């Protein structure tokens, strides 16, 4: 099948190009002069629109299997599609967690028939408990391994424990000590993989919660119990380990100015450190806690306006190379348990692109930088480039179309999640994600799917790729 995308402005790695785009058999075939006649079975009219390489959400927790009362892979990938994302990278902390190749292979099979968009899979790094399995996950095509540094895991299920001070100690698997973490960096370095971490130092968290002197009741209590220095400290330790081992270290969901400063300094010193942030940290501040209540609770927490400003600066100066949603749904009842007891996390996969497009329309980020942080740099980091993340002949024909002068409204009624309650309910946004193309055929238009469900598994190939 041949598809021609006409009259759009392509956002390429060489900049904006006014050209038509010819796709055939699932791949991009050629950039052609606008209006030049081309034999095609189907046309997409992109007049007045920016045509981006398909957006990639590298940070999705679909809860599937294990917690499918919270969310399912079918729901999260449908949300991704309708929001303008064409590939998701699924986090490993479902139950069972992806800590070995057998689980990786079964997850890949289970998800294959349910995916509305293409998907890659993360593996989980536990430390000594699966030290020699991580290379096998890498060879099986895992995009990276995730280390939940700062989270305790349930010993049996490897599920995250959100409040480990309250859990019986013998049910927990605590993050390993630094000597073992260093060993894990060495191991991942040995095969050229990516070690990504949730960075919050657990000793700082534990002591900060004790010093609070009473259970967490308000959002200010939560911020005191999880200070930014906990994030910055873990990042600094990881950056040292990255530097001495050569291991590629990626900081996920970075939430603080202090964290961004450490990443910037480490990169300047030549350490192989990269970072991600999320729309919640770029659009919300602690001042939204009163309005939103515990719905705003995520780990690490949303902080001050100064933190938000520093994260935007980091997105624009290259300190942060990738923006992901950290889609991590819970039941509404669970989120109403209060700032102390509610589990951390919320919806995000469907609003990732609209919120970032809004930022572009407001001048906070350029179209070319948006293409990098939502597609190109993400694809490079996770071993998917140049198959994904670029508009060039030979790449998968995955595209996200954006009308920069349009607008959109976010509302719970229109969310495709299993539990459709979003932090951004009621927001009016500038710019509009209008349509997407997946594997060379139209896949979404006006926030609804077009055609069959046909997401495919994509294996990472890290050979020879460096960020």
Binding mask 232-271 for ligand DOR (x = CB under 6 A): ----------------------------------------
CB of 167 to ligand DOR, least distance (A): 15
Alpha helix positions (H), 213-256: 219-225, 228-245
Among 210-218, 324-332, 415-423, 424-432, the segment contacting Zn ion (CB under 5 A):
324-332
CB of 93 to ligand DOR, least distance (A): 6
Q: Which of 344, 356, 370, 408 binds ligand DOR (CB under 6 A)?
A: 344
Opening angle at CA 193, ends 383 and 12, nearest 5: 25
Q: Which of 298, 357, 402, 410 binds ligand DOR (CB under 6 A)?
A: 298
Return d(Cα 436, Cα 199) in angstroms, integer. Answer: 34
Q: Which of 6, 146, 198, 416 binds ligand DOR (CB under 6 A)?
A: 198
Nearer to Zn ion, 86 or 325 (CB): 325
Return d(Cα 282, Cα 323) in angstroms, integer. Answer: 10
CB of 211 to Zn ion, least distance (A): 27
Q: Which of 57, 64, 201, 326 binds Zn ion (CB under 5 A)?
A: 326
Computed on alpha carbons and rounded to an integer, the radius of gyration of the chain in Å comes to 21
Opening angle at CA 250, ends 245 and 253, nearest 5: 150
Contacts from 16-19 at CB under 8 Å and sequence distance 24+? 16/50, 16/367, 16/368
Paired residues of 198 in beta bridges: 148
Paired residues of 250 in beta bridges: 196, 274
The partner in contact with residue 359, picked from ligand DOR, Zn ion, none with C-beta cut-offs of 5 to 8 angstroms by kind, is none
Using CB under 6 A as the binding rule, whether residue 93 contacts ligand DOR is answered as: yes
Using CB under 5 A as the binding rule, whether residue 350 contacts Zn ion is answered as: no
Return d(Cα 161, Cα 233) in angstroms, integer. Answer: 21
Return d(Cα 386, Cα 350) in angstroms, integer. Answer: 25
Strands 20-24 and 15-18: unpaired
Give the three-class secondary structure for 207.
helix
CB of 417 to Zn ion, least distance (A): 16
Return d(Cα 329, Cα 340) in angstroms, integer. Answer: 17
Using CB under 6 A as the binding rule, whether residue 73 contacts ligand DOR is answered as: no
Nearer to Zn ion, 307 or 326 (CB): 326
CB of 44 to ligand DOR, least distance (A): 36
CB of 252 to ligand DOR, least distance (A): 7
CB of 326 to ligand DOR, least distance (A): 6
Using CB under 6 A as the binding rule, whether residue 147 contacts ligand DOR is answered as: no
Spatial CA neighbour of 91 closest among 124, 131, 56: 124
Q: Which residues of the shown chain bind ligand DOR in the complex (CB under 6 A)?
A: 61, 93, 160, 198, 298-299, 326, 328, 344-345
Q: Which residues of the shown chain bind Zn ion in the complex (CB under 5 A)?
A: 326
């Amino acid at each position: 099948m041949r598809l021609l995308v006409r009259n759009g402005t392509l956002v390429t790695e060489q900049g904006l190009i006014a050209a038509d785009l010819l796709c055939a058999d699932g791949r991009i075939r050629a950039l052609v002069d606008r209006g030049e006649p081309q034999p095609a079975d189907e046309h997409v009219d992109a007049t007045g629109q920016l045509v981006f390489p398909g957006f990639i959400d590298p940070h999705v927790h679909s809860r599937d299997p294990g917690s499918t009362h919270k969310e399912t892979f079918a729901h999260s990938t449908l949300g991704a599609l309708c929001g303008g994302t064409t590939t998701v990278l699924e986090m490993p902390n479902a139950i069972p967690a992806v800590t070995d190749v057998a689980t990786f292979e079964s997850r890949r099979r289970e998800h294959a028939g349910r995916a509305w968009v293409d998907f890659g899979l993360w593996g989980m790094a536990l430390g000594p408990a699966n030290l020699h399995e991580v290379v096998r996950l890498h060879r099986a095509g895992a995009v990276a391994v995730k280390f939940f540094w700062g989270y305790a895991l349930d010993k049996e299920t490897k599920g995250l424990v959100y409040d480990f001070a309250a859990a019986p100690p013998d049910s927990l698997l605590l993050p390993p000590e630094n000597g073992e973490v260093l060993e894990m960096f060495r191991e991942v370095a040995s095969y050229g993989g990516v070690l990504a971490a949730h960075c919050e130092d657990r000793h700082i968290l534990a002591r900060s919660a004790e010093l609070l002197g009473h259970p967490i009741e308000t959002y200010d209590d939560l911020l005191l119990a999880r200070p930014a220095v906990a994030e910055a400290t873990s990042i600094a330790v990881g950056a040292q380990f990255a530097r001495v081992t050569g291991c590629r270290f990626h900081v996920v969901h970075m939430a603080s100015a202090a964290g961004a400063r450490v990443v910037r300094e480490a990169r300047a010193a030549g350490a192989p450190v990269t970072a991600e942030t999320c729309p919640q940290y770029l659009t919300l501040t602690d001042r939204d806690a009163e309005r939103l209540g515990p719905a705003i609770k995520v780990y690490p927490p949303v902080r001050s306006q100064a933190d938000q400003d520093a994260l935007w600066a980091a997105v624009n100066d290259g300190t942060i190379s990738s923006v992901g949603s950290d889609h991590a749904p819970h039941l509404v009842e669970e989120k109403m348990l209060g700032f102390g007891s509610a589990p951390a996390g919320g919806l995000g996969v469907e609003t990732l692109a609209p919120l970032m497009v809004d930022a572009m329309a407001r001048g906070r980020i350029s179209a070319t930088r948006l293409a990098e942080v939502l597609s190109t740099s993400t694809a490079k980091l996770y071993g998917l480039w140049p198959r994904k993340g670029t508009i060039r002949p030979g790449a998968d024909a995955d595209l996200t179309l954006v009308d920069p002068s349009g607008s959109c409204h976010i509302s719970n009624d229109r969310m495709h999640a299993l539990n459709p309650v979003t932090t951004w309910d009621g927001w009016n946004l500038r710019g509009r994600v209008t349509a997407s193309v997946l594997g060379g055929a139209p896949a979404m238009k006006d926030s609804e799917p077009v055609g069959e469900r046909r997401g495919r598994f994509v294996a990472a190939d890290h050979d020879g790729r460096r960020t």
